[in-house]
A and B are shown apart, each in its own frame.
Chain A
């Protein structure tokens, strides 16, 4: 019996309060794929790809976390290990105290998954038939099922779609249908892989509104991967950035600016065309368009002393401050890691 789980007693000794163990625990998680390629007529060359290369994090119950990174960074691979679809090559992983790969079907009762590019709905059957299958497959008590379905139908506006065969639904309608299907069994965690991909503005807004409501009223833990940073800005208090299978950043979205060394822009309109302003400390001249000049300064410092210094020395007509673009910040982070990689390779 002692050999079953050596980690639990140690954890308890360190922290007697049970709740201090995060709901999702990931420790030095690795996934290595071996790629075999034809190198000749019969020869095969073997190559190892570290899709996930030693990631550690914890997610508390009720958190809403954004998981972002470029294509092929290892986002989906992580999610698939968290759901038990893929078996990790190394490291330790617990979701609600369960080892996903070993007890996949038991964990499935407690999690909901939505893959934006893959539907779980039945193509030729009316939407409500798919929900009926969920009802029976997850053994959801009748009253609970009715209540959850009614709530999803109301909030995701599915009322008129229940009798429509899934193949006739639009992409946005189907996504809403898929989200509802993932929530009928009251999952404690919801994984969303690109939930707003390909949706129009109205559908996106509705999906986001629904997720926010779910998180606040049900305190469902949400982990979402996305390419749309507006999703993150509007939903997630915490963001994790992954690239090349490594965690580059884990913290508040605003903190990304400091890490990414991002800069804000001070746009200065002068009375007339003047030589570049280069004598103001803390600011860097970027470019000018006639009487308008652009000055960059670190996002972490205040704009007030700069404005005062410029106003004192130059004939100022108008000015404005431009916030850094979060996408640019992240792109810069990815770029940075590429540079480092290249250097370390050389």
Chain B
């Protein structure tokens, strides 16, 4: 009964929690941006480096298409669409939530304590911790490739397809973000779990840059049903490109990305709360 009361009170507080988190996020991120700006030349340098590193990623695909005509039955423009959508989604999630992967250090050295003492949502504080504008380089590069893909693509655009594009980008970013939160929750128990999360986030991003047709069916089913990364771009993009969904996946799944994103957020939220409750802090 007490448990039921608490959840009902929590749901009433859900809106203030979101607005509080956003407010906290802006404040903390602002402080970090100002901190970075005290070392201006270093900031400029990392921005350039970050852009170059992600761009070379794409150059690899570009070079590959110099040698082969198609990849798993996908043309260059179609692969560019996959690359651009996952790149943008992942870039947005990395920009806003990427710091969560570095929370392990805060847990280990106990400096998370100072965050917990403030009257602000912890997740927002940790996500905005060491906020780095240079990560915007990844988003910019993803968008650039996406625009290029849209110019090259020969698709019969319908209102549904046009609408699906922004929905796909936002849902994808939310799914990646939820995976990052889930991974960060594990850090409360295992401070070295960050590597595992990276394989799902960075690894997932790399996976989604390529057509699902080049991978084994088991792997594809895994990213549909287990870690639902396929909803980031594969399934909606297949619809946009007028291709059939992979075997064993229901037809409506191509529109299910927002729903999947919402479920991921719910799971991540529960894990995060459990994590905070079992936080152990350090000796002194």
Interface residues, chain A, with chain B CB atoms under 8 Å away: 1, 3-4, 33, 71-72, 76-77, 80, 83-87, 101, 104-106, 108-109, 111, 113, 115, 117-120, 122-125, 129, 133, 136-138, 165, 193-194
Contact = CB atoms under 8 A, between A and B. Distances in A.
Nearest to B28: A133
A123 B119 contact: no
Nearest to A84: B116
A109 B118 CA distance: 8
Given A85-B279, A101-B277, A125 B121 contact: no
Chain B interface size band reads 20 to 34
A85 B117 contact: yes
A16 B111 CA distance: 42
A158 B154 CA distance: 66
Identify whether the interface residues of B are mostly helix, strand, loop, or mixed: loop
Contacts of B119: 105-106, 108-109, 137-138
A104 B279 CA distance: 13
Given A3-B2, A85-B116, A129 B280 contact: no
A80 B34 contact: no
A80 B113 contact: yes
B11 interface: no
B113 A118 contact: yes
Closest 10 CB pairs of A and B: A108-B119, A124-B35, A85-B116, A109-B119, A120-B114, A113-B117, A105-B119, A3-B2, A3-B1, A124-B38
A125 B35 contact: yes
B110 interface: yes
Given A118-B113, A125-B38, A137 B281 contact: no
A118 B111 contact: yes
A138 B118 CA distance: 8
Interface string B5-39: 10000000000000000001001100100110011
Given A77-B281, A86-B281, 14 more contacts: A3-B1, A4-B2, A80-B281, A84-B116, A86-B280, A104-B116, A108-B117, A108-B118, A118-B110, A118-B114, A119-B114, A124-B38, A133-B28, A137-B120
A150 B280 CA distance: 37
Contacts of B284: 71, 76, 117, 193-194
